[in-house]
Amino acid sequence: MNDALLIFAKAPVPGEVKTRLLPDLSKEEAARLYEAFIYDILKSTSLIDAERFLFCHPTTDHPFFQRIYDELGIRLLGQQGQDLGERMKNAMGLLFNDGFDRVVIIGSDSPTLPVEYIVDGFKGLMTHSSVIGPSIDGGYYLVGGRNQVPPIFEGISWGTDRVFRETLERGMLLGLDLYLLPFWYDIDTFRDLSLLYSHIRYLHKNNKKIAEETIALLNKIDIFGSCLE
């Protein structure tokens, strides 16, 4: 099958990304951390057998996105739509129109997301019409469809802890054949960031090197007062 992996990202403008990490981090630190998240996700997904696209909000013009393109050659596309649901719907539709059979979208708030979950998402679309990877905060970190855009992006309370529940209920109401992945976590609050830091440190101490850009930046900021050995 012809597969596409869409990575949704915002322009890392200080004061406009990861704002719930303020004031524990400065606006500039939060923006740099978000950049590290994106780099780590791009690295972890580099071996997935799918064409990757970075869907940029609000446009592809930000110098960070252009640097990503220059360094990695990943195709940049701008997000189109009034809310997140409309932007995801339009992005998936664009790729289906381009001839892709399975399209999976992930966000850029989970730098430790196991690549196996993404691969499993594509596998799930072999036998199911759509796939969702729920987040423990009530949203989801992954959504995908096969051959057509699943009708699950309307009537959702975006930005709330009801996103996954409302999406699941809409899917059941419409009789969709949903494939569910395991829960994972996003990084929105400082509490989430503390969990992330401990998680990465544990994995590194056990010789599993993930999210290296993220941990390097956190150690440089020294927000937790300790460094990775």
At 215 the three-state DSSP class reads helix
* Res 102: pLDDT: 98
Does 206 reside within a domain?
no
Does 205 reside within a domain?
no
Per the structure, how many domains does the chain have? 1
Task: Report the alpha-carbon distance of residue 67 to residue 64 in Å, rounded.
Answer: 5
Residue 98: give its domain's CATH number.
3.90.550.10
Task: Report the alpha-carbon distance of residue 33 to residue 214 in Å, rounded.
Answer: 6
For 41, residues 6+ apart whose C-beta sits below 8 A from its C-beta are 7, 106, 108, 110, 111, 113
Does 210 reside within a domain?
no
Q: Could you tell me how far CA 40 lies from the centroid of its own chain?
A: 11
**Which structure tokens are listed for 193?**
């960031």
* Res 228: pLDDT: 45
Q: What does pLDDT average to in each consecutive run of 10 residues of the chain (229 residues)?
A: 96 97 97 98 97 97 97 97 96 98 98 98 97 97 97 94 96 94 97 96 91 95 68
Does 157 reside within a domain?
yes
Does 180 reside within a domain?
yes
Does 137 reside within a domain?
yes
Task: Report the alpha-carbon distance of residue 179 to residue 105 in Å, rounded.
Answer: 14
> At how many degrees (to 10) do helices 27-44 and 63-72 cross?
20
Q: Are 38 and 60 in contact (CB under 8 A)?
A: no
Task: Report the alpha-carbon distance of residue 56 to residue 107 in Å, rounded.
Answer: 11
Q: Euclidean distance between the first and final Cα of the chain, in Å?
A: 42
pTM: 0.95
* Res 223: pLDDT: 86
Q: Are 121 and 178 in contact (CB under 8 A)?
A: no
* Res 42: pLDDT: 98
Does 18 reside within a domain?
yes
Q: Are 76 and 61 in contact (CB under 8 A)?
A: no
Q: Which domain holds residue 47?
A: 3-186
Does 58 reside within a domain?
yes
